[in-house]
Amino acid sequence: MNITDVRVSMVEDKTKKLRAFVSIVIDGCFFVQDIKIIEGEKGLFLSMPSKRRRDGTFKDVAHPINTETRKMMEDVIFAKYHEQQAAKGSASSKETEPAAEAEAAKPEEPPPPMA
């Protein structure tokens, strides 16, 4: 299994623990969205996509089933997250055009369906 695409949408509100939303493509043919990067007491961790049950609890709808797969996902996703943080840091020292800011604020779209 290979993660062939990672898209990170940074969250600007630093008062909350949510740092980013992530979407991944696995082997160029399986799309997973709504993975969250959370700042916890021991550092960053991934929160897998979940849904709320009738009783108010949450249940993961997709998740790795072994430690090796989770580690591989974390390595790839956190590398992309840190890359975007570094790029954002260097970009924040430069002036940005309003059109570029508006483009960055658009919600991400899933990749087109495979034909």
Domains of the chain by residue range: 3-50+58-91
pTM (predicted TM-score): 0.74
Q: How far apart are CA 103 and CA 81, in angstroms?
A: 19
43 — phi, psi (to 5°)? 115, -165
Q: How far apart are CA 50 and CA 6, in angstroms?
A: 19
Is 77 in a helix, a strand, or coil?
helix
Tens-level pLDDT at each residue, the chain (115 residues)? 999 999 999 998 777 899 999 999 999 999 999 999 999 999 999 999 999 999 999 999 999 999 999 999 999 999 999 999 998 877 665 544 445 444 554 455 666 655 5
Which of 65, 67, 76, 75 lies closest to 7, judged by CA?
A: 76
**Which CATH number is associated with domain 3-50+58-91?**
3.30.1120.40
45 — phi, psi (to 5°)? -150, 160
* Partners of 58 in beta bridges: 52
